[in-house]
Amino acid sequence: MAFWKILGLVCLLLAAGFGGYWFGATSERLHKFDENEVRHPHPESNDHQLTGVVVDNKQAGHLTLSPEVIKSLNVQVAAARRAPQTEPLVLAGSLFLDSSHLAVVHTRFTGEVVRVGEVPDSHPANNSGSDAVRQVRAGDAVKKNDILAVIWSKEIGEKKSDLVESLSRRNSSKATLERLEGLEKGSVSGQVVRDARRQYESDLIAVERAERTLRSWKETEAEIAEVYAEAERIVRGESPKDSRVRETWANVEIRAPLDGVVLERNISLGEIVETGFDMFKIADVSRMGVLANVYEEDISKLTSLPEEQRKWKVRLKAEPESEAISGVFEVIGHVIDPGQHTAAVVGWITNPNQRFRTGQFITATIELPGPSDAILIPNAAVIDQGASATVFVATDSASQDVTARQVSVLRRGRDFALIRQSPVPNESPFDSLREGELVITSGNLELFGVLQDNPPTTAAK
Mean pLDDT across the chain, nearest whole number? 83
State yes or no: pLDDT of 318 exceeds 50.
yes
pLDDT band at 45 (very low <50, low <70, confident <90, very high): very low
In this prediction, residue 383 carries a pLDDT of 92
In this prediction, residue 142 carries a pLDDT of 94
Q: How far apart are CA 447 and CA 437, in angstroms?
A: 18
Lowest mean pLDDT among 126-140, 203-217, 358-372: 126-140
List 82's β-bridge partners, or say none.
375
**Does an H or E element contain 181, and which?**
helix 154-181
In this prediction, residue 242 carries a pLDDT of 59
List 64's β-bridge partners, or say none.
54, 401
Most confident of 64-78, 234-248, 442-456: 64-78
State yes or no: pLDDT of 415 exceeds 90.
no
- Integer angstrom CA distances of residue 425 from 22, 412, 434: 71, 21, 21
Q: How far apart are CA 365 and CA 92, in angstroms?
A: 9
Nearest to 376 by CA among 82, 147, 132, 34: 82
- Quick check: helix, strand or coil at residue 114? strand
**Does an H or E element contain 112, and which?**
strand 111-116
In this prediction, residue 254 carries a pLDDT of 92
Averaged over 8-32, what is the pLDDT? 55
In this prediction, residue 396 carries a pLDDT of 85
State yes or no: pLDDT of 387 exceeds 80.
no
User: Which residues does 98 contact at the CB level (< 8 Å), separation at least 6?
Assistant: 283, 284, 287, 288, 289, 348
What's the distance, Cα to Cα, between the start and end of the chain in Å?
88
Q: What are the pLDDT digits (tens) for 114-155?
A: 999 999 887 776 665 567 889 999 989 999 999 999 999 998
Q: Cβ distance 359 to 83 under 8 Å? A: no
Dmax over Cα atoms in the chain, in whole Å? 157
State yes or no: pLDDT of 373 exceeds 70.
yes
- Quick check: helix, strand or coil at residue 424? coil
In this prediction, residue 30 carries a pLDDT of 43
431: left (phi over 0), alpha (psi -120 to 50) or beta: beta
List 81's β-bridge partners, or say none.
376
